[in-house]
Structure 1
Amino acid sequence: MPKVLISDKMDPKAAAIFRERGVEVDEKPGLTKEELIAIIGDYDGLAIRSATKVTKEVLAAATNLKVVGRAGIGVDNIDIPAASAKGVVVMNTPFGNSITTAEHAIALIFALARQLPEADASTQAGKWEKNRFMGVEVTNKVLGLIGAGNIGSIVADRALGLKMKVVAYDPFLSAERAVELGIEKVTLDELLARADFITLHTPLTDQTRNILSAENIARTKPGVRIVNCARGGLIDEAALKAALDSGHVAGAALDVFVEEPAKASPLFGTANFISTPHLGASTDEAQVNVAIQVAEQISDYLLSGGITNALNVPSLSAEEAPKLRPYMALAEQLGSLVGQLAHDALSGIGIEVEGAAAELNQKPITGAVLAGLMGVYSDTVNMVNAPFLARERGLDVREVRHDRVGDYHTLVRVSVKTSEGEKSVAGTLFGDSSPRLVEIFGVKVEADLAGDMLYIVNLDAPGFIGRLGTTLGAAGVNIGTFHLGRRSAGGEAVLLLSIDSSVDESLLATIRGLPGVKVAMALRF
């Protein structure tokens, strides 16, 4: 039974779902870093919110950990590169609090437009400053979205309902998607010049950090109002304060800050500034939704291999996983075979699929090939860290999908570039479930890949198989299966033998000394 730790306060429905699905779960919110490190090795999964920090030190101690699930969008508290190198899947729940965050942004737009916090404080102080709080309408105003993904698109929909005109800057927004949303795609400079309100809905990356810098704030339309419910660090807070003080920015509302908890921001006390303590996801509905989603996602992965909303590995639905599992087994075997036979000077690898395989999600197949290939270099490789290791080695990875149908109803081919040219192996599935090698370096052969094996290239000549059998028999090595292929009679032949025990270098040297032998290698699957 898989075992999961919930290390942050989470809705009880999360633990209930784990137990219903047959996953053992412990709820231990409030652990210190040292306490977490002491126990994390006992768990296959870790469910967190924002309090738990999944650092390199925590991951180093997580000897059995397979997946970390964040109940929410932000994963700033997870060292994703370290998790990838460790082979740990990192998931989030990007849709559970989307509506809640979008609604908070809309609420802050209204609060800025009508100066609601200041008016409330003034009125409750016994004043009646009706003329002081002259607001603006949002109708017919231009709303500029920086980021038009999941949350940004919901904000756009709500803003259009308020009769605002919406323009968006997002490098990943297609023209077709913009039309579908009913918004106008613009450059950042155009957005800054035209927007009456600006709201940010983008992750914090090297490209988006301080996207509203002092320089860009100066380019905004005088009297602009700015809202940020996304991530601290997207706005230069000191520059925003200066723009508020000068009146160039008429108002700003921040739910997120560079440093949180924010207790000493330069913006505090500034006129026309509204702040909330990271409330974007703080509704009852959102907390229940993300708790349920993270429990379902972690359970799917641990029980069936389904991968949803992963940040460091291709997604694989729970429905796809059973269908893809035999293909992934075949792909991993082919990757391992080509890695063992030609691993010394690889510069590139190609993964081609045709027939039934071409109709499936190719990313998991590629991941399995790389896992098999990288397993030659490390004994802790899986689909998650294999692409990471391949990039570290400068390996160029190419994927090809063919519509054609060849001699087999399904085929996976793995080709590698070496100093001696390109070499390839190919395999298929028998009965849609049993992996089978059908070609090796241009030679047709039919073989299972399992356990200890011998790979031999020799000149096809009478008596060779007898000599080889005698040599193995004299060494006490029993042959399980025997697979033979050749280019032509009397030409080069390939032998793949499954054997009941491993062979040492001394025996390999003896085999290499047999007449006609060109290559003799021990393989392990």
Structure 2
Amino acid sequence: MPPRILISDSLSPAAIDIFRARGIEADFEPALGKDEARLAAAIGAYDGLAIRSATKVTAEILARAERLKVIGRAGIGVDNVDIPAATAKGVIVMNTPFGNSVTTAEHAIAMMFALARQIPAADASTQAGKWEKNRFMGVEIAGKTLGIVGCGNIGAIVADRALGLKMRVIAYDPFLTEERAQALGVEKVELDALLAHADVITLHTPMTPQTKNILSAEALARTRKGVRVVNCARGGLLDEMALARALDDGHVAGAALDVFAVEPATENPLFGRANVVCTPHLGASTSEAQEKVALQVAEQMSDYFTRGAVANAVNFPSITAEEAPRLAPFVALGEKLGLFIGQIARSGVQSLSIVFEGHIAQQKTRAITAAALSGLLKPILEDVSPVSAPAIAKERGIAVEEITREAQSGYESLLALAARTAEGEIRVAGTVFHDGRPRIMRIGEIGVDAEFAPSMIYTQNEDRPGFIGRFANVLGAASVNIATFALGRDAPGGCAVALVAVDGALLEGTLDEIRALPGVKQATTLKF
């Protein structure tokens, strides 16, 4: 019986032709995605689901998806898919992460021009029969400083276009290296410097806890008077009420927004202002981009069903069914070790070295490397996956080195990561025992033995008597239960580390109390 795919959003007819040419049944029902009840009733008959943004794939729909194996999103954003529910159901979620890049970058440039020359307001005035030539005084783009927040794939394209317009380009991105910045022709700066010097600020970063309201009221107050703001990335990257106040008092000269905190945005505090340009999330809306992502998703889904290939999956590494039993535990280990580094690093990672030692060095290690990079980048880039992580690391100039060698540590297999940052090197190593559970075995030169837990605390401290008691008292007073407590030190009275698994989340105030304990050098909460 051939695979059967449901296309529940509007998709190019060329995509349907690809499915059918590969022997896959494709039912085109573009109105179905807007009716959750009808979609839930129909989904049980399909092996694949091809969507754009209108279809919301909820946990309830996935619960009815008895045959579903893969969801293909024509576009980059997968916030309309319940990824944890799909993963738990064993459904692979694919997207097309680079098909919209040029289109979105061009929209940002167009919005910048519209803002600088007041084109929408001037158009409305002229078409209303007025001739207000003196009212619409614009500013030149050439010679101005463009500040790019997030210099990944789209941000780099914006930088290239801006340099062609003779702008000076500065960029803030924790993962952008000096070498990559030089290659792009941009100046890498910290966020405060960008805010202080940019004439125009454009946002091109994903929406994560770290980037939410990155343009807050406080950040906007640190910008230069007369700055213009462009956001074609994600709603919620800026505080809309704070931006409205900054526009009212004249500190911000104008704003151009394609995305909003709540969409569809039928009302917003920024609407109705002459110095604000708004579009309804059109960043990816060109015929070329829509054709491109439709063809890509059709090819990827067809390859999965006909050849077993997995491409651009956000919840599954690129490994074959035959390799999975051997590699899966080490893929999980690599991701968790990378996630450990990503959460304790105090500055952007410039390079990552991965050592495969023992039996694992003889296996196909690319999926493990991809998983380690995914974990490393995930604290900053929420949407990163083992498939997209290598390309993202390359875009940001993060050098990756893989080393394979025979067993030297006494373990059958050992995986060791070393990340270079502006503040020094972070090293961690782990293995997988016969129970199949990944473990941390070494942090720097300090030996530990700790299983990963959903919620953990990592501390680095001076090896002094009484530390454990004081640490435990802080957690006890906060009603935080300790599940496991792993310790290690380099020498008596020297440097010590602790990895503590706790039940539930830790409040920031409790973490501050731990940091204030005598001898504590670093205290960080970890999520795995």
Band the TM-score falls in, shorter-chain normalisation: 0.5 to 0.7
Following superposition, the deviation at residue 7 of structure 1 comes to: 0.8
In the aligned structure 2, how far is the partner of 1:143 from the partner of 1:361?
37
In the aligned structure 2, how far is the partner of 1:19 from the partner of 1:155?
37
Write the letter of the residue equivalent to 1:156: A
In the aligned structure 2, how far is the partner of 1:266 from the partner of 1:68?
36
Aligned to 1:363: 368
Write the letter of the residue equivalent to 2:131: W
Indicate whether 1:204 and 2:201 are aligned.
no
Q: Deviations over 1:173-225 (max 9, x none)?
A: 22221111111111111111111001111111111111111111111111011
Following superposition, the deviation at residue 127 of structure 1 comes to: 2.1
Indicate whether 1:103 and 2:106 are aligned.
yes
**Which residue of the other structure, out of 263, 266, 281, is the alignment partner of 2:266?**
263
Alpha-carbon spacing, 1:288–1:188, altered in 2? closer, same or farther (3 Å): same
Q: Report if the CA contact (8 A) 1:358-1:401 is conserved.
A: no
Q: Report if the CA contact (8 A) 1:331-1:412 is conserved.
A: no
In the aligned structure 1, how far is the partner of 2:308 from the partner of 2:357?
23
Indicate whether 1:149 and 2:152 are aligned.
yes
Indicate whether 1:30 and 2:31 are aligned.
yes
In the aligned structure 2, how far is the partner of 1:278 from the partner of 1:327?
41
Indicate whether 1:171 and 2:174 are aligned.
yes
Following superposition, the deviation at residue 315 of structure 1 comes to: 3.7
Large movers: runs of 4+ above 3 Å = 325-335, 350-360, 364-367, 403-406, 411-415
3-state SS, counterpart of residue 402 of structure 1:
strand
Q: Report if the CA contact (8 A) 1:351-1:366 is conserved.
A: no
**Which residue of the other structure, out of 399, 403, 406, is the alignment partner of 2:405?**
403
In the aligned structure 1, how far is the partner of 2:363 from the partner of 2:99?
33
Give 1 or 2 for the bigger CA radius of gyration. Answer: 1
**Residues 430-469 of structure 1 mapped to structure 2, 5 A cutoff:** none
In the aligned structure 2, how far is the partner of 1:230 from the partner of 1:353?
44
In the aligned structure 2, how far is the partner of 1:175 from the partner of 1:121?
44
Alpha-carbon spacing, 1:24–1:130, altered in 2? closer, same or farther (3 Å): same
Aligned to 1:293: 296
3-state SS, counterpart of residue 5 of structure 1:
strand
Q: CA RMSD in A?
A: 3.1
3-state SS, counterpart of residue 5 of structure 2:
strand
3-state SS, counterpart of residue 166 of structure 1:
strand
**Residues 470-481 of structure 1 mapped to structure 2, 5 A cutoff:** none
Q: Report if the CA contact (8 A) 1:355-1:403 is conserved.
A: no
**Residues 139-288 of structure 1 mapped to structure 2, 5 A cutoff:** 139-288=142-291
In the aligned structure 1, how far is the partner of 2:76 from the partner of 2:362?
33
3-state SS, counterpart of residue 405 of structure 2:
coil
Normalising by structure 1, we get a TM-score of: 0.64
In the aligned structure 2, how far is the partner of 1:168 from the partner of 1:270?
28
Following superposition, the deviation at residue 246 of structure 1 comes to: 1.1
**Residues 283-322 of structure 1 mapped to structure 2, 5 A cutoff:** 283-315=286-318, 321=320
3-state SS, counterpart of residue 226 of structure 1:
strand
Indicate whether 1:119 and 2:126 are aligned.
no
Alpha-carbon spacing, 1:303–1:153, altered in 2? closer, same or farther (3 Å): same
Write the letter of the residue equivalent to 1:403: R
Aligned to 2:338: none
Q: Report if the CA contact (8 A) 2:361-2:406 is conserved.
A: no
Indicate whether 1:4 and 2:5 are aligned.
yes
Count of paired positions: 365
Q: Deviations over 1:422-451 (max 9, x none)?
A: 9xxxxxxxxxxxxxxxxxxxxxxxxxxxxx
In the aligned structure 2, how far is the partner of 1:334 from the partner of 1:243?
50
Alpha-carbon spacing, 1:188–1:356, altered in 2? closer, same or farther (3 Å): closer
Identity %: 62
3-state SS, counterpart of residue 235 of structure 1:
coil
In the aligned structure 1, how far is the partner of 2:193 from the partner of 2:170?
9
Indicate whether 1:135 and 2:135 are aligned.
no
Following superposition, the deviation at residue 403 of structure 1 comes to: 3.4
Indicate whether 1:74 and 2:77 are aligned.
yes
Alpha-carbon spacing, 1:315–1:180, altered in 2? closer, same or farther (3 Å): farther
Following superposition, the deviation at residue 117 of structure 1 comes to: 1.0
Aligned to 1:21: 22
Normalising by structure 2, we get a TM-score of: 0.64
Alpha-carbon spacing, 1:364–1:178, altered in 2? closer, same or farther (3 Å): closer
Aligned to 2:514: none
In the aligned structure 2, how far is the partner of 1:352 from the partner of 1:306?
28
Alpha-carbon spacing, 1:176–1:334, altered in 2? closer, same or farther (3 Å): closer
Q: Report if the CA contact (8 A) 1:192-1:221 is conserved.
A: yes
In the aligned structure 2, how far is the partner of 1:121 from the partner of 1:296?
43
Gap runs ≥5 in structure 1: 336-349, 368-382, 385-399, 423-525
Alpha-carbon spacing, 1:315–1:151, altered in 2? closer, same or farther (3 Å): farther
Following superposition, the deviation at residue 330 of structure 1 comes to: 5.1
Alpha-carbon spacing, 1:142–1:21, altered in 2? closer, same or farther (3 Å): same
Aligned to 1:416: 433
Q: Report if the CA contact (8 A) 1:196-1:221 is conserved.
A: yes
Alpha-carbon spacing, 1:126–1:403, altered in 2? closer, same or farther (3 Å): same
Gap runs ≥5 in structure 2: 332-354, 373-384, 387-401, 416-430, 440-528
Greater Cα shift, 231-240 or 302-311: 302-311
Write the letter of the residue equivalent to 1:200: L
Following superposition, the deviation at residue 401 of structure 1 comes to: 6.0
3-state SS, counterpart of residue 146 of structure 2:
strand
